[in-house]
Structure 1
Amino acid sequence: MAGPLVVVYDRGAASAAEIAVGLGALGPVVFLVNPSEHTRRTGEVLRRLGDVVPLTGDRETDLAAVRRLHPAAVLTFSEPMLPVTAWLADALDLPFHPIATTGLLTNKVQQRERLRLHGVDDVRSRPISSIDEWAAARDHVGLPAVVKPVYGQGSRNTYVITDDAVAHRVLAPLLPAGRASTVLVEELLVGRPGGPYGDYVSVESCHGPQGLRHLAVTGKLPLAPPFRETGQFWPAAVTDAERQEILDLATRALTALDLGPGLTHTEIKLTERGPRIIEVNGRLGGHINDLARHAAGFDMVRLAGQLALGQQGAVPPVDQPGKVHFQHNTLAPVESCELLSITGAAEVRRIDGIDGFRAYARVGDVLEADVMTRHLDLLWGHCDRHADLAALLDEAQRRICYEFRFGNGVRRLSAADLQRGS
């Protein structure tokens, strides 16, 4: 009997249930679980879906535990777990991104340097480790600029800087005196006018025995300030010529990063100068598996498992369905609050074109103040044309309502209100 597929697990782009369903036909699944708040909450679910082995943080102990499993593959769908997955794969001589590549995929400073070195993109950037270094970074990068963490996802601690006063206010808590920390300062990529759509896209790609293949160009809904993602759709609302430009840039970026077998998710800004790299992620994109399943009946998690086994899975043209398939997320407020109620779920599911609605937040959840992307729900559906998308989403957003207790009282906000940042 073949050994199991070992999934290094924490919060990521695929849920435990998606992983179990997608990989189940390929072999038994073992979850190698990183201790975190997320895995503590999902522990019972994980144990129902497969065998669970805890990560201890001690490399020799963890490697010995995985060796005893005689795994056929090791993989992850979690951004923070990429380095440990690469290390295990290297030690076990199993397919995955090389250790050095995961450094390039997870460290934004290293990634920018590699892309610049290979002539892929010339986004101005500079890491700083103290507020004293701000002035030199500002002079190099220019204003407006973006400050972001060197490691991280979900727009955590990502801010637009328009002047020195804003810079000092933002950087003070990110670079406290006496503590070793670094942030990346980058030029602000200004998107071209996108109408009802976002001014960026993502490219979903795979790298296997037959080399690099692009699977989809994913259209995006407009960002909520400062950089919070609200949803995505297939097919992207770009021309054939723009699509080719986007794919050419993604090819050059991924080639520069020396990928091993696996999936990647490349975010690209659409500017007046043409497409520019935002960042490359070395794993499945968030909610992309759901989108592929609804739009094309294709399981991206299964494809990830096949690549980890050294196989080249067959992939249909997933991002060119006959209709426009979309996902939308309502974003949590950026202020601290407590969720008191959710209404409108049954009503929104009755709207023609809405295929499903799932609440992620629960009544009683306390949400801390944060500017990162935090999703309260997932809404998905389809329409005949891109031109129909905005009206359908507007109708759905007016039906879903959340009630919160803030420090200054209780407020009832629709998903449309939250989209506008009310």
Structure 2
Amino acid sequence: MSDRPVIVVVYDRGSASLLDIVDGLTPIGTPVLALWPSEHGADVQPLAQEMLTVEVLDPEDLDGSAERLRAHAPAAILTYSETKLAVTAQLARRLGLAYHTPATVELLRDKYAQRQRLRERGVDSVRSHRLREAGDWPAALAAVGLPAVLKPASGQGSRSTHAVTDADAGARLAAELLTGPDRESTLVLEEYLHGRDCAPYGDYVSVESAVSGQRISHWAVTGKFPLAPPFRETGNIRPAVLPDDERAALLELVTGALRALDITTGVTHTEVKLTPDGPRIIEVNGRLGGWQVQLARLAGDLDPVALAARLALGEDVAHVRADDERVVFTRAVAAPVEGGTYLSVQGLRTALALDGVEHVVTRYAPGETVPAGVHSAEIAWVEGAVADHATALRVSAQALRELAFTVEAPDGTPYTVRESVPEPEPSAVP
């Protein structure tokens, strides 16, 4: 029998791909894929079965699924998928393995419950109110005020997330989101956090943390490019550019948040708004953050996929840090909110020829559908590694200006998608 530890990965679409998991976990153990029977799971199943052991989970019989996994004698369990935190917690409890407790997963997945806990523990006091039906709007408005943010209580990728500045428009929007064809079961109205001037960067960052027992280590702070309306992410830059005192304050805030949510193992991804009055929590996520695999690969430093598995195995690796010797970035061309059919791209060769650009990744093949919606989504993105932040800003902006994408609208009319990113002012770049 092999002495390599078996690591169960509950798999669905998430922050690490199937190949990322195979590459990251095979050197340290034997991964067993607990495959969720989704459309994405069905797509990757043939390839997964070529590379590693696969057990397809039965959502109606988690007891039986756990027994099949038990037969592999697992030493650890984890997931890289936001939507599978709860299932992973249930399986971990059945298998007697370390993971977030179901109570902690509830706090991580329910953004209203998370806000309540952070307020109760004195960590952050952002006003919020839950809406389960359209009639809850007046009470939510009275509790939170305007401007505010309306979003699903449980969601990711800025899905159905909107800024609200008018009470009547907010009432209509809440009713639409709760009763429309893609209706949300529960919404949260929360205080809008005004960011400080961080140009040419976005006014928020993410903190990537490793938790091992009582030890919390923040292994990276990821800067962001400015959001596209309403709250669409447009890219990442690491390390973030922050004054030392602000960095210390935000790390202290995140440490308090992780302790308040009773997180004791694994990697976390916490988004933090940089306001004139100091950092404020946007949300805490109990899994590896998006884009961290790409950023780590560009930097050539620690593998965050492997880090999550090593923590699940009980290793004390909370001392690890990204070395931040290079400035790395991912910068996106946002998918059009109206959607359509992807046709073609121009400017790829010129963008790839720029010093510092490592990859240009296009999301769609000609003829594929670009879904409509206001969630964070990319039609393509640029990845790069350079010596300093000024070069990162210049090169990434130039690469985006070279790229143009042709999309056919639902009515059959072709249109062009491109990002007109201005050259940053030298005085604005640290």
State TM-score, norm by structure 2.
Answer: 0.92
Residue aligning to 1:329: 332
Structure-1 residue corresponding to 2:202: 198
1:368 aligns with 2:371: yes
Question: Residue 216 of structure 2 corresponds to which residue in structure 1?
Answer: 212
1:101 equivalent in structure 2: 104
Within the candidate set 179, 182, 186, 2:190 is matched to 186
Determine if contact 2:212/2:318 at 8 Å carries over to the other structure: no
Match of 1:42 in 2: 44
Q: Does 1:278 align with 2:288?
A: no
Give the CA deviation at 1:132: 1.6
- Tell me, in whole angstroms, the C-alpha distance in 2 between the residues paired with 1:163 and 1:169: 10
Contact (CA 8 Å) 1:147, 1:185: kept in 2 or not?
yes
Contact 1:209-1:311 within 8 A present in 2 as well:
no
- May I ask how many residue pairs the two structures share in their alignment? 416
Separation (CA, whole Å) in 1 of partners of 2:84 and 2:374? 23
CA distance in 2: counterparts of 1:346 and 1:51, whole angstroms: 40
Cα separation, partners in 2 of 1:317 and 1:63, compared to 1, 3 Å: closer
Per the alignment, residue 420 of structure 1 pairs with none
Alpha-carbon distance change, 118 to 25 in structure 1, aligned in 2, over 3 angstroms: same
2:151, 2:323 → 1: CA distance?
30
Assess if the C-alpha contact under 8 Å between 1:233 and 1:324 holds in 2: yes
Q: Matches of 1:404 and 1:176 in 2, distance apart?
A: 30
Deviation of 1:340 (Å) = 0.8
Deviation at 1:10, TM superposition (A): 0.5
**Aligned twin of 2:402:** 399
Equivalent residue, structure 2, for 1:320: 324
Taking the TM superposition and a 5 Å limit, the aligned residue runs for 1:221-240 are: 221-240=225-244
Moved more, 323-332 or 168-177: 168-177
Kindly indicate whether residue 134 of structure 2 is the aligned counterpart of residue 152 of structure 1.
Answer: no
Partner of 2:133: 130
Give the letter aligned to residue 158 of structure 2: S
Deviation (angstroms), 1:154: 0.2
Match of 1:31, as an amino acid?
Answer: L
Q: Work out whether 1:5 is the aligned partner of 2:7.
A: yes
The answer to whether structure 1 residue 383 and structure 2 residue 386 are counterparts is yes
**One-letter amino acid matched to 1:68:** A
Matched, 1:120 2:123: yes
Whether contact under 8 Å (1:217, 1:319) holds in the other structure is no
User: Once the 2 structures are TM-superposed, how far is the Cα of residue 356 of structure 1 from its aligned partner?
Assistant: 1.6
Correspondence for 1:62 among 36, 60, 65:
65
* Deviation (angstroms), 1:210: 6.1
**For residue 47 of structure 1, what is the amino acid of its counterpart?**
Q
Write the letter of the residue equivalent to 1:241: D
Give the letter for the 2:31 counterpart: V
Equivalent residue number for residue 425 of structure 2: none
Partner Cα separation in structure 1 for residue 271 and residue 297 of structure 2: 21
Aligned with residue 346 of structure 2, among 343, 346, 351: 343
Q: Aligned residue for 1:18?
A: 20
CA distance in 1, matches of 2:51, 2:205: 33
List per-residue Cα deviations over 1:53-90 (Å, max 9, x = no partner).
11111222211211122112111000011111111112
- The farther-off stretch of 126-135 and 75-84 is 126-135
Cα-to-partner distance string for 1:148-184 (whole Å, 9 max, x where unaligned): 1011100001111111232133222222299892200
Taking every aligned residue pair, what percent have the same amino acid on both sides?
Answer: 43
CA distance in 2, matches of 1:205, 1:316: 10
Aligned pair 1:410/2:425, yes or no?
no
Bigger drift between 236-245 and 130-139 goes to: 130-139
Letter in structure 2 aligned against 1:37: E
Q: Cα offset for 1:209?
A: 4.5
Between 1:75-84 and 1:294-303, the stretch displaced more is: 294-303
Structure 1 residue 295 corresponds to structure 2 residue 299: yes
Preserved contact between residue 357 and residue 385 of structure 2 (Cα < 8 Å): yes
What residue identity is the alignment partner of 1:10? D
Check conservation: 2:359, 2:383, Cα contact below 8 A.
Answer: yes
- Structure 2 Cα separation of the partners of residues 387 and 77 of structure 1: 32
Q: Distance in 2 between matches of 1:180 and 1:12?
A: 20
Structure-1 separation of matches of 2:110 and 2:314: 26
- C-alpha contact 1:218 1:319 (8 A) present in aligned 2: no
CA contact 2:131–2:188 (8 Å) conserved in 1: yes
Tell me, which stretches of 5 or more residues in structure 1 are unaligned?
Answer: 418-422
Contact 1:16 1:49 in 2 (8 A): no
Tell me whether 1:111 sits opposite 2:98 in the alignment.
no
Calculate the aligned-residue CA RMSD, in Å.
1.9
| TM-score (norm. length: structure 1) | 0.94
Query: How far apart in 2 are the matches of 1:343 and 1:44?
Result: 33
Structure 1 counterpart of 2:324, one-letter code: Q
SS in 1 for 2:10: strand
Q: Paired residue for 2:424? A: none
Q: In structure 2, what residue type is equivalent to 1:163?
A: D
AA in 1 matched with 2:179: P
Q: Secondary structure at 2:163's aligned position in 1?
A: strand
| Cα offsets for 1:292-320 (capped at 9, x unmatched) | 23214211111111111111237553153
The whole-number CA distance in structure 1 between the counterparts of 2:76 and 2:300 is 26
CA drift at 1:265:
0.3
